[in-house]
Amino acid sequence: MGGRRPTPTPIVEAPLTFGASTTAADVLDGVDLHGRRAVVTGASSGIGVETARVLAAAGADVTLAVRETAAGARVAARLEAELPPEAGKLTVGRLDLADRSTVAEFVAAWHGPLHILVNNAGVMATPQLTRTPDGQEWQFAVNHLGHFALATGLHPALAAANGARVVSVSSIGHLFSPVVFDDLAYRFRPYDPWTSYGQSKTANALFAVGAAERWADDGITANALMPGNIADTSLARHMDMQQVAAFVASGELALPPGKTVEQGAATSVLLAASPTVEGVTGRYFEDCAQAEPVAERAGAVAGVAPYALDRDNAARLWAVSEALVR
């Protein structure tokens, strides 16, 4: 394992003005990001759009990394019409996280330093077992492996930024399952959309732990987060909503209070650019503060499972992921 272990940082509490109702714009009020470059995946809908908008409004040049470039171009045009003249530049790049060739093309096309990488894109609870062309289960491939390949491919650009930040958008859904290393692709277990989603979101958190371990000497920090319960997003586009309603009614799925898109993007933006978390790495945040550990899923609407921050799990996942994306 390369790099030194990062120096442990104290529990990070939200500033008095930050919390569940804080918006992304509130987080970056007065912050100047001119001269910084950012990539936001999944920036054609939901909190990805708001994350890109607020970073650009603060002066960052932002690349919207999206699967459908036409949709990305429409979002960029709309944002450019809304942003102030001093805002950063918006560009659109094609990135299909289920297609390793497009990840490689995106990485190859990137030149110069990268200061902020927000791994935001994702899919949730796809009802049927689906595999990528290289045989990986769809949710794990899109939510984790594609982002892993992207971040490791962009590592030289992140290291060149001298203080880059990597943000991994996880979810309270990680409480549905740890990473099941012996059966990542559901070749032995019956497929379940929620445990599949859960292990992919646990992987998002473990990626941040692993990157924090390996990339500290490069000046890179990496953290994961739960954005909140946001209805206005395309994340649930594959879901059977009647099944979800029944799941909630049964008590199997507990949901935190709802948030707007503007509130949902706040923790991503905090970790991407706020001076209040300078140097913090390898942590899991929610509501703009470090999450508390939870011992079991039953009834939990907040918090982080210990297995999602375990260094041994993170090291194992890193090795497995390197082999799968090679």
| Side chain identity, residue 142 | V
First-to-last alpha carbon distance for the chain, in angstroms, is 17
Q: Any catalytic annotation for residue 197?
A: yes
Torsion sign over Cα 93, 283, 146, 150? positive
Which residues lie below 8 Å from residue 298, measured CB to CB, with a gap of 6+? none
214 CB-side CA count, 13 A: 19
In the DSSP assignment, the letter for residue 88 is P
Which residues lie below 8 Å from residue 81, measured CB to CB, with a gap of 6+? none
279 CB-side CA count, 13 A: 6
CB-CB contact of 164 with 158 (8 Å):
yes
164 CB-side CA count, 13 A: 28
Q: Which of 186, 191, 197, 284 is catalytic?
A: 197
Count of C-beta atoms within a 10 Å radius of residue 152: 20
Interstrand relation of 221-226 and 165-169 (parallel, antiparallel or unpaired):
parallel
| Side chain identity, residue 228 | G
- Residue appearing with tokens 């470059």: 37
Q: Alpha carbon of 37 to those of 111, 112, 117, 149: distances in Å?
A: 11, 9, 9, 19
Q: In degrees, to the nearest 5, what angle opens at C-alpha 148 toward C-alphas 142 and 154?
A: 125
Cite the active site residues.
197
